[in-house]
Structure formats: C-alpha cells, structure tokens
Amino acid sequence: MNKQVSYQLNKIIKKTSDKNLNNHILVAISGGQDSLYMIKLIEDLIRQYTKQKNNQINISYIYVDHQWRKDSYKQTIHVINYIRCIERAIYIYQLPKNILSENLSRVYRYHIITKHAIKYKNKLIVTGHNQTDKIETFLYNFFRGSGTQGTTSLTLQTKINNHMYLLRPLLNLRRDIIYWTCKRFNLPIWSDTSNYIYDFHRNRTRYELIPYIKKYFNSNIEGNLNSLLKNYYKDNEYIKQNTIKLYLISKHPKYIAINHHKLRKQNLTLQFKVIQLFCIHNLNFSLRYNKILEILIHINKKLKYINIKIKLQSMTLHIDKKWMYVTL
C-alpha cells in the first residue's frame, strides 16, 4: 500500500486518539476500487495500531444504495459479503428510486452518513475520495462559476462539529495507482455500470473531457490542476483567516450588527466575505451574490447620511451612518 497515505492516516488516528475521538470510526464505502483499497488500508493500520497500543478501535461501515440500476441489489449483497469476511459491522441505506440528480443524491448521502454517525456516536468519518475525484469536483464547480472556496471544497480533513471529523485519506492518490494496487492484492472490485452513464456530468468529465484535454492540450493536466488546487487552498485559507479577524473586529459586542466604517477600509473581497459570514453566523442563511453587491454599493458610497433598508427573507437589514444591523 502507499506509504505516504498510510503514514498520513496513521498520524491522524494517533492525533484523534489523544482527543479520544477514534473509539468509533465510520467508513463510507461502495463496491468500487477506492473503497476496497481504503478498507484494506484501514484494516491493516488498525491491526498494527491495536497491537502497539493495546487499544480497541471500533470500526463500522456504511453503504448507501442510490438504486440507479435494476441490479443494484447485487452490488449491495457483494459489499455485505465482503465486509462479513473481515468480520465488521455494516449498515445499508437506500435512496428513493426517483432521485436521479447527482447533486441531490450527494446531499442525501452526506445527510444519511452524518445522521448515522451522530446516532451511533462515530467520531471519525472516512470516505474514499481520491485525487481524480478532487480534480473532477474542481472542474464541475469551476463550470458552475464557483470561487476559490467552492473549487477547493474537497480537503484531506474537515471538521464537521466539535466532536466529529471527516477524513479523506486517499485524496492525494491517483485513481490508476489505486486500481493497480487492488489488482495486486486481488481485491474483488465491483464494476458499477452507472459510472458509464454520460448523462452524469462527472462521468462525462472523467471519460471525455479530461482525456480530450490530455491528448490535445496538456498531457499533464491532472498534475497541473492538482498543483493549482494546492495554491488555491493556501490562498483560500489566508482569506478565511483574515475574514474572521475582520469580522471579530467589526462586529458589535452586544447586538447583531457590524461597523461598516471598518469594513470600507478593507479589500472588496474581504468586505464580501465578512457580510457572508455575518449572515451565516447570526441568521443561519447565505445571501445571494447580487444582494451582497447591493449592500457593498451602499456602504461604500461614503454619504453623510445613510438610512437604507434591505428585505432579507423574514428580516430587514438596516444600514445607517455607522452600523449595519438586522431587525425582525
């Protein structure tokens, strides 16, 4: 198995062990090569870890059947049989048959996995996303017009809440390496025919767009995009940190309000991000792009007298000479 991936996963397990987070680990799987590679990697590492530390780690697996194919139950049986061979618990969920949207299916899947983890007190969720998935997600979000935050949404480790983490240990590993490793260890890969349905944007990106770019434009497009994503991630983290600092400086110590005089002194991008954070943190919803631009135009006019009211769902956003605040 890949030594770098094993080292990273082992490091995270040790780190979470110090925080008592690794007593219950939930691994989200399918019958594909990524999941089988990850199962072997995790089982090998946990076996070594329990021998060294003499500490029992509870691992369970979760599989979500999208029911996109008539024979999807066969894949479910295949996954159940494989997990039974390694003597682990597995939980099976099914999505309604009428959900054919990739985005909606992904939302349902993450919702099911998170709710399951909360119910059974799993502190660490592990998924099998790899480097190829990261590049495909970047291209998909890029075509939708997402910014740096949207295009770098797949990260190695994500904090879901104060007691739960999401880990993607294969994120820096290419799909072809995973495939040949599975072949080497004779792992029973299930060929999912839904991966070849070109109505799904991800499949068309994987089998048409990326090969076309590699052949006619840049043979190392995946490596270049991976380097680009690393730089985007660093830039995005820098913007996030400065956004939080500016928000804490600008917000009112008692009321739901921010001082827009302090915002005006900063870069327009930071102003935009602070308003987004203000709404998410206090109102629990995200403003549309055009609505934030409207707010920025008002607060940057530098008029002597300002009294603006902007309707936000069931609330009203007020902008006066110094403060921007919300009322019902």
d(C-alpha 2, C-alpha 184), whole Å: 13
Is 65 assigned to a binding site?
Answer: no
- CA 9 to chain CA centroid, nearest Å: 17
Distances (CA, A) of 293 to 77, 204, 236, 272: 52, 34, 20, 8
String of DSSP letters for 235-282: HHHHHHHHHHHHHHHHB-SSSSEEEHHHHHTS-HHHHHHHHHHHHHHH
Helix or strand or coil: residue 102? helix
d(C-alpha 196, C-alpha 199), whole Å: 9
Q: Are 148 and 236 in contact (CB under 8 A)?
A: yes
- Taking the CB of residue 181, how many other CB atoms lie within 10 A of it? 18
Could you tell me which residues come within 8 angstroms of residue 9 by beta carbon, excluding any fewer than 6 positions away? 41, 42, 45, 167, 169
What is the residue type of 326? V
DSSP class of residue 216? H
- Taking the CB of residue 157, how many other CB atoms lie within 10 A of it? 15
Is 145 assigned to a binding site?
Answer: no
d(C-alpha 43, C-alpha 48), whole Å: 9
d(C-alpha 112, C-alpha 253), whole Å: 37
- Taking the CB of residue 299, how many other CB atoms lie within 10 A of it? 19
Helix or strand or coil: residue 5? helix
DSSP class of residue 209? I
Which residues are known binding-site members?
A: 30-35
Which residues are known binding-site members for ATP?
A: 30-35
